[in-house]
A and B are shown apart, each in its own frame.
Chain A
Amino acid sequence: MTRSIAALLALLVVATACGGKAEPFVGYARNPTPNVADVALPAVEADGSETEFAFRAQDDGILLVYFGYISCPDVCPTTLADVRRAVGALGDAGERTDLAMITIDTEVDTPEILTGYVRSFIPDAVAVRSVDDDRLRAAADAFGADYGKEEVDGEAKVFHTGSLYAVDPIGDLVLTWPFGTSSDDIRGDLERLLEEA
């Protein structure tokens, strides 16, 4: 009974966006904390123009990073829709959260469709596209992500790590959410990260 009341109170606290400091994060932190501040890849605009994008959050913010591809019908839109919901539920604090999606399928994902796709979830999201696979691979390694294509029965099968990453302003990869983490759990973790940022 006490536990139920405590659970209800915890829910209320979360619902009123006050955070619950004693709760552990749902995402996991790695030990030692990877730092991706030195990782930079081209951010593209629809017209194909590029600027170097460094993987660091804005001051007092959190940068969410996702490796995916557009013809992915299941896990990518699931996670990106969860991000949209989580960031939306943060209210004003959501302004301090940015999203960068890195395509792992540069042949298909042109700057135009990549920017349109990711910004349909988060309007000011950063679309990252490196046609230099060595640079893309190095960036993925820094995050502990994997991706690739392999031929199975003559069909190119794309694989990629489905995790979502949170990076702070100094480039520390502070939290990783495995695929399947609910938008509510992502939102809860983000609230705490933003409080601490």
Chain B
Amino acid sequence: MTVTLAGLAAMALVAAGCGDTVDATAAGDGIEITGVWARTSPAQASNGATYLQITSESADRLVSASVSSDVAAVVEIHETVAMDDSAMDDDEAMEDDAMEDDAMEDDAMEDDAMEDEHAMTMREVAGGLVLPAGETITLEPGGLHLMMLDLVSPLVPDTSFELELTFEVGEPRTVTVEVLEDAP
């Protein structure tokens, strides 16, 4: 019942166009974490992703994140990136260069098209996520995210789970992650 009410409240806030989720936390030590949500995961999906915004008053680093072992085995800080030439193997890179050159000689539309069709991949953010002083770092679909590996059970709408964040300087923080079908 509590969960349902919280879910309804969250939906009401979203419907009212209020960007903050109910679990937005103002920090005691200058780290503010807002907009925490995870997308629902189909039963067949072994991995999930949590998104949020972090603002640290002073320079810090998000070192790691974790969830209870009854949610997922591991949480990694990941980033979805477009494959650039250096990330591809040599053959692919050469082929890609050739295609780009051809495209440039054609009209602008085609050039855009080639740009858009760079393949995407994910990489772990090595050494943690740098939080420059006063800057809001946004984890959002298609960019930075907290990847949850080996989900124990599917993430279903309007439930929530706890996520612990560990910082290099700031105190560890536990936030509530709302599971939503679509971005808030």
In angstroms, Cα B40 to Cα A85, docked, is: 14
Q: Which residue of chain A has its CB nearest to the CB of B143?
A: A74
Give the Cβ gap from B46 to chain A, nearest Cβ, in Å.
5
Which residues of B from 79 to 125 have beta carbons under 8 Å from A? 80, 83, 87-89, 92, 107, 109-110, 112-113, 116-123
B47 touches A71 (CB 8 A): yes
Range class of the A interface residue count: 35 or more
Contact of A157 among B92, B107, B122 (CB under 8 A): B122
Which residue of chain B is the closest to A29 with respect to CB atoms? Answer: B109
CB neighbours of B123 from chain A (8 A): 152, 157
Report yes or no: B89 in contact with A150, Cβ–Cβ below 8 A: yes
Counting chain B CB atoms within 10 Å of each CB, the highest count among A78, A117, A147 belongs to: A78
Q: Give min CB distance, B143 to chain A, whole Å.
A: 8
Tell me if B113 and A30 are in contact (CB < 8 A). yes
Q: Check B44 against A120 for contact (C-beta < 8 Å).
A: yes
Q: Is the CB of B141 within 8 A of A74?
A: yes
Q: Which residue of A lies closest to B121 (CB)?
A: A159
Rounded to whole angstroms, the CA-CA distance of A28 and B87 in the bound complex is 26
Interface centre among B39, B80, B119, B148, by most A CB within 10 Å?
A: B119
A58-B86 Cα distance, complex, nearest whole Å: 41
Contacts of B116 in A (CB 8 A): 28, 163, 176, 178
Q: Kindly provide the distance from the CB of B23 to the nearest chain A CB, expressed in whole angstroms.
A: 21
The smallest beta-carbon distance between B162 and chain A, in angstroms, is: 19
Distance in Å: Cβ of B62 to nearest Cβ of chain A: 17
Given contacts A85-B182, A179-B142, contact A77 B45 (CB under 8 A): yes
Residues of B near A71 (CB, < 8 A) are 45-47
- Given A75-B141, A117-B42, decide whether A147 and B113 contact each other with a Cβ distance below 8 A: no
28 A–B contacts from the bound complex (CB under 8 Å): A28-B109, A28-B112, A28-B113, A70-B46, A71-B46, A71-B47, A72-B47, A73-B48, A73-B148, A74-B80, A74-B141, A74-B145, A75-B80, A75-B142, A78-B142, A113-B44, A121-B42, A144-B113, A157-B122, A157-B123, A159-B83, A159-B87, A159-B119, A159-B121, A160-B120, A161-B117, A161-B120, A176-B113
